[in-house]
């Protein structure tokens, strides 16, 4: 299930250029969920292609995780104005699409606070939950959830970057073998 090309379920449709749909291996057992598309993503229609995406790609490559072997998506499919965090109403509007994307996966990785808020209902510090294996319910089935830092938080913060590297090693060693 995907949004209609002219989706108008929330106000984000007013400023978007393109709906940003998942990329990578759409059948992968591993899914990364970011918060929302940025400017470059809005222009290209692909998630994580801007500055944060380049850092995500670099960390994945350093840790031996191929982007082509995972699916990457966002909690919302359209860019919020001025790159603000998506609202609860906007995330709720896209939630059926996200649930469909996450259904049947082995592990979901929440990249940053917005993804963790949407999928866990968590409002605290990322440092308190990063790389803690948890469970979320997707369409009636429990799925492993690993919260970690958004790549944007890793640009100037070494501890966040190290935690994201740890996430990649966990995925490589435990969920993407072979």
Domain ranges for the chain: 12-174
Q: Which residues pair with 34 in a beta bridge?
A: 74
pTM of this prediction? 0.95
CATH superfamily of 12-174: Uracil-DNA glycosylase-like domain (3.40.470.10)
CB 149 within 8 A of CB 166: no
Q: For tokens 């790159």, name the residue.
A: 83
For residue 48, is pLDDT > 90? Answer: yes
What pLDDT, on the 0 to 100 scale, is given for residue 136? 97
Model pLDDT for residues 103-136, shown as the tens digit of each residue: 999 999 999 998 999 999 999 999 999 999 999 9
CB 112 within 8 A of CB 35: yes
What pLDDT, on the 0 to 100 scale, is given for residue 177? 75
For residue 4, is pLDDT > 80? Answer: yes
What pLDDT, on the 0 to 100 scale, is given for residue 178? 60
Q: What ranges in 47-87 are assigned the alpha helix state H?
A: 51-62
Q: What percent of the chain has pLDDT over 70?
A: 99
Q: What percent of the chain has pLDDT over 90?
A: 95
Model pLDDT for residues 51-83, shown as the tens digit of each residue: 999 999 999 999 999 999 999 999 999 999 998
For residue 43, is pLDDT > 90? Answer: yes
What pLDDT, on the 0 to 100 scale, is given for residue 46? 96
């Amino acid at each position: 299930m995907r949004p209609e090309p002219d989706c108008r379920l929330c106000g984000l449709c007013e400023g978007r250029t393109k709906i940003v749909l998942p990329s990578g291996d759409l059948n992968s057992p591993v899914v990364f969920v970011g918060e929302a598309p940025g400017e470059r993503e809005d222009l290209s229609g692909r998630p994580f292609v801007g500055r944060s995406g380049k850092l995500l790609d670099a960390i994945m490559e350093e840790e031996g995780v191929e982007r082509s072997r995972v699916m990457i998506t966002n909690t919302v499919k359209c860019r919020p104005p001025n790159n603000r965090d998506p609202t609860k109403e906007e995330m709720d509007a896209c939630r059926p699409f996200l649930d469909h994307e996450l259904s049947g996966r082995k592990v979901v990785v929440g990249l940053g606070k917005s993804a963790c808020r949407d999928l866990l209902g968590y409002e605290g510090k990322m440092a308190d939950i990063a790389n803690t294996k948890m469970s979320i319910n997707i369409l009636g089935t429990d799925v492993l959830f690993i919260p970690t830092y958004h790549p944007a938080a890793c640009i100037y913060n070494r501890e966040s970057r190290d935690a994201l590297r740890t996430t990649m090693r966990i995925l490589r060693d435990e969920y993407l073998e072979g």
